[in-house]
Structure formats: structure tokens, C-alpha cells
Amino acid sequence: DAGVIQSPRHEVTEMGQEVTLRCKPISGHDYLFWYRQTMMRGLELLIYFNNNVPIDDSGMPEDRFSAKMPNASFSTLKIQPSEPRDSAVYFCASSSPVTGNTGELFFGEGSRLTVL
Amino acid sequence: GQQVMQIPQYQHVQEGEDFTTYCNSSTTLSNIQWYKQRPGGHPVFLIQLVKSGEVKKQKRLTFQFGEAKKNSSLHITATQTTDVGTYFCAGRGSGGSNYKLTFGKGTLLTVNP
């Protein structure tokens, strides 16, 4: 398997512009996570899905952020309008628990976002 | 909400010295995982601990899960330059159908050859 695939790898945009980050999880994984990583705050969970349904979006910073998972093989994280404080590396990860509450996370390479 | 604290934030060692990072959760965990992130890379899974008091070893790495399932540690014996990176613990809460994994802020390990 190719692993978790994210795009774009790098994005530089201006404040106020819309940003869309994309993720293709590992085939067969039924959990998908979006994390944001910054030096100050570390790895923050933004939202996670189970079988394409959002389960916990309590980490989504504000209404400017939205995430969708229209099918089992694709998810998007959208920021509209973007602000300089959104600059970070955004990771997508997928998982498939084998039994009970277990399952390692497989991370994508990340999307590095810079908002000027 | 659940919080996972990790110390130290940074650790610089000479090659051959030992290294330990500690993780503490504000709530009891169902399991804890450890990840390593190389500079410029993405987190990669190392191991999962599930049982109270569990100890697991991977070559020079020793992982422990506390008796109360609220703390954990990672110890590296005789560090090598290939050990450089940030080590994260990540805890999953106990009870219910919670699958959320909360990460500590990580410990950045640098090794002087």
C-alpha cells in the first residue's frame, strides 16, 4: 500500500484566501484523523472520522475550519478565510483497530501551510 | 478534557549516553502509544502499551506503562546518532467508545557524535 497520501505538500497563500488540504487514507482503514502541528502547541487533534462520519470535532479552532469525508478514500480540510496564525503542518492519519480500542496511527507526510 | 504532559521538552546527550522521556496523563488511559518523528518527517509508530505495569523492549528502547495507567516512560540505552528526533507519547482515554488519541508535546532528542 502507498500509505496515507496528502496534498499539497507545501502551500503558501495570502491572508484571506481559501485553503483546501486533501487526504487519502490507507485502503480499509475506517478511522481518519486531522492533526495540526506547531512548535508552540505541538500535535493537536482537530477532528476525527469513523466510517466517514465525524465523531469528535472539538479541536476545530473556529468556524473558519471545516472538514469533510465524502467517501472512505478521501477527506478534505478547508480553511476559509485563512489567517497567518493558521500557519502549521497539517497531518492526516488513518487507523484500523484490530480488537477493541487499539490501533496505531499511520501518518501522511503532512501539508506545510504558510499564510502570509 | 484529557491532557498528556511530557518531559523534558529537550534533551541533548553525547553518543553512548542514556536517555529517558516521561509522560503523564491527567486521566486513566486505556492504552498509550509512542511515536518517533525525525526532523522534517512525520510521526511513526513505535509501540503500544495496554496492561498496567507493562514493560516492553525493542533493542535499546524500553517502554513502561505505570501501574495506575496514567504515566509512561521511554528509555534509550547507549544512544546513537540515528536516535535523533522527537519522541511523542499519545494516550487514549478509558471507557466508552472514545477512540481519540491525545499527544504529548514531545521530547526532542539530539545526540552529539
**Alpha-carbon distance values, B52 to A100, B75, B89 (Å):** 17, 18, 16
Chain segment B57-80, per-residue pLDDT in tens: 999 999 999 999 999 999 999 999
Query: Do the Cβ atoms of A55 and B42 come within 8 Å?
Result: no
Query: Do the Cβ atoms of A42 and B106 come within 8 Å?
Result: yes
Q: Give the SS3 label for residue A25.
A: coil
Res B95: pLDDT: 66
Q: Is residue A82 within 8 Å of A17, Cβ to Cβ?
A: yes
Rounded to an integer, the average pLDDT of A7-18 is 97
B8: confidence class by pLDDT, cuts 50, 70, 90:
very high
> Which residues 6+ apart lie within 8 Å of A103 measured at CB?
A31, A95, A96, A97, B99
Torsion sign across C-alpha atoms A4, A5, A11, A15: negative
Query: Do the Cβ atoms of B105 and A48 come within 8 Å?
Result: no
A64: confidence class by pLDDT, cuts 50, 70, 90:
very high
Chain segment A40-52, per-residue pLDDT in tens: 999 999 999 999 9
Chain segment A97-115, per-residue pLDDT in tens: 765 445 889 999 999 999 9
Average pLDDT for chain A: 93
